[in-house]
């Protein structure tokens, strides 16, 4: 898994969803193999992970998988069993994703879309449309419940926000080739058959993809992978007490903070401190609840509600490196986001 190392990941770690039964119930057409909806549903989680890496959006990934499974069900009578059901589903999913990506700009993070802004309220003037930024996804949607620990580790590492964002820099077919070969461990010949090209073309696409990701990632060190570590516990403690001096002491000097859907992002612990003591001071009294998302340290933030209890405010993601926090990403569109994670919008007092 060379691309994993190039992307800063060590090579050795190389609400309910709609179901097909609710959409289509019976078919009289015979099938060469058993393609009962229950069998197709068994692939939903891994297909969601694939589509999420391709599209950079949890909602779009869910739509793509639903479209994939419905197309498969409708085409069951024409499936001749020349490939595995899994390969056939990935072919359909790839075509669905390529269609969705055609003619649109890539998703990114605020840091990729403009310069850092001053830490004052005027920087909140511009908001990003939903289709422009990479959105988070719950681990339970994409990470296997059980299996080989190394495969689970790879699944978690390759849904991290930074990695998914880096993937969006690749042309769609390069992106598909890289995910299939170096995340899902397909052979180049299998990928070539799926993409309808030669093995040499796949290998060439992989070389270009590796070079692009190495440039995008800048050869940075791998993020820490201890979501229960002392550093993050100290962050939660400092944030809930709103001890900004203690919190800033945990940040790298060049740490960044972003708050999609706002275009604003901040660079440097000094500006983050100014923001938190200024416009961000309304977060005093918040509660942070741990959430399993994007294979990273994530927290649901609830701000104090004057009427009592706490109200959903943001989903926070932290990236750490060398014993410091290097990035804080707070996603603020809580109505849809918290619902997709099964989180309540209000905590009682």
pLDDT tens digits for range 209-228: 999 999 887 544 444 454 45
Same domain for 194 and 47, yes or no, is: yes
Confirm whether 224 is domain-assigned. no
Q: What is the pLDDT of residue 218?
A: 55
Residue length, the chain?
Answer: 349
Select from 186, 217, 248 the last residue of a domain: 217
Alpha-carbon span 342 to 16, nearest angstrom:
9
Dihedral sign (CA 92, 96, 99, 102) = negative
My answer on whether 273 and 207 are in the same domain is no
Q: Give the pLDDT score at 2.
A: 44
Predicted confidence at residue 29, as pLDDT, reads 38
Q: Are residues 239 and 209 part of one domain?
A: no
What residues make up the domain containing 100?
Answer: 2-217
Residue 286 · residue 303 · CB < 8 Å: yes
Q: What pLDDT shows up at residue 252?
A: 96
Low-confidence ranges of the chain (pLDDT < 70): 1-35, 80-81, 218-228
**How confident is the model at residue 302, as a pLDDT?**
98
Q: What is the pTM of this model?
A: 0.87
Q: Would 238 be classed as within a structural domain?
A: yes
Residue 121 in domain = yes
Q: From residue 16, give the alpha-carbon distance in Å to each of 278, 294, 341, 342.
A: 39, 19, 10, 9
Q: Which pLDDT value is given to residue 173?
A: 97
> What is the distance, to the nearest Å, from the Cα of residue 222 to the centroid of all Cα atoms in its chain?
17
| pLDDT of amino acid 194 | 95
In this structure, what token pair is assigned to residue 17? 């969803």
Is position 305 within any domain?
Answer: yes
| Residue 264: inside a domain | yes
On whether both 177 and 78 belong to a single domain, the answer is: yes
CA 123 from centre of chain: 26
Residues pairing with 290 in the sheet: 299
CATH assignment of the domain containing 318: 3.10.450.50
Question: What's the confidence (pLDDT) of residue 233?
Answer: 95
147 and 189 belong to one structural domain:
yes
- Report the domain count for the chain: 2
């Amino acid at each position: 898994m060379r691309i994993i190392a190039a992307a800063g990941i060590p090579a050795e770690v190389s609400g309910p969803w709609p179901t097909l039964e609710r959409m289509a119930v019976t078919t009289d057409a015979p099938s060469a193999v058993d393609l009962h909806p229950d069998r197709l549903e068994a692939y939903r989680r891994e297909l969601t992970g694939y589509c999420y890496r391709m599209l950079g959006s949890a909602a779009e990934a869910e739509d793509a998988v639903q479209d994939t499974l419905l197309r498969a069900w409708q085409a069951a009578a024409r499936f001749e069993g020349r490939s595995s059901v899994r390969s056939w589903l990935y072919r359909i999913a790839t075509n669905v994703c390529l269609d969705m990506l055609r003619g649109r700009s890539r998703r990114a993070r605020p840091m990729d879309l403009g310069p850092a802004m001053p830490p004052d309220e005027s920087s909140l003037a511009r908001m990003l449309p939903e289709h422009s930024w990479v959105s988070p996804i719950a681990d339970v949607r994409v990470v296997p419940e059980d299996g080989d620990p190394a495969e689970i580790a790879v699944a978690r590492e390759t849904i991290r926000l930074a990695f998914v964002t880096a993937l969006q820099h690749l042309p769609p077919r390069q992106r598909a080739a890289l995910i299939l070969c170096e995340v899902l461990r397909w052979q180049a010949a299998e990928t070539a058959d799926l993409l309808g090209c030669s093995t040499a073309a796949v290998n060439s696409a992989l070389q270009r993809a590796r070079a692009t990701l190495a440039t995008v990632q800048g050869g940075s060190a791998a993020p820490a992978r201890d979501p229960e570590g002392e550093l993050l516990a100290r962050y939660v403690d400092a944030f809930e007490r709103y001890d900004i001096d203690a919190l800033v002491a945990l940040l790298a000097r060049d740490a960044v903070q972003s708050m999609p859907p706002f275009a604003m992002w901040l660079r440097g612990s000094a500006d983050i401190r100014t923001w938190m003591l200024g416009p961000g001071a309304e977060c005093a009294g918040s509660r942070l609840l741990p959430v399993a998302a994007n294979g990273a340290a994530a927290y649901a933030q609830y701000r104090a509600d004057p009427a009592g209890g706490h109200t959903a405010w943001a989903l926070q993601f932290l990236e750490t490196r060398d014993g410091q926090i290097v990035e804080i990403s707070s996603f603020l569109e809580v109505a849809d986001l918290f619902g997709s994670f099964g989180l309540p919008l209000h905590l009682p007092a």
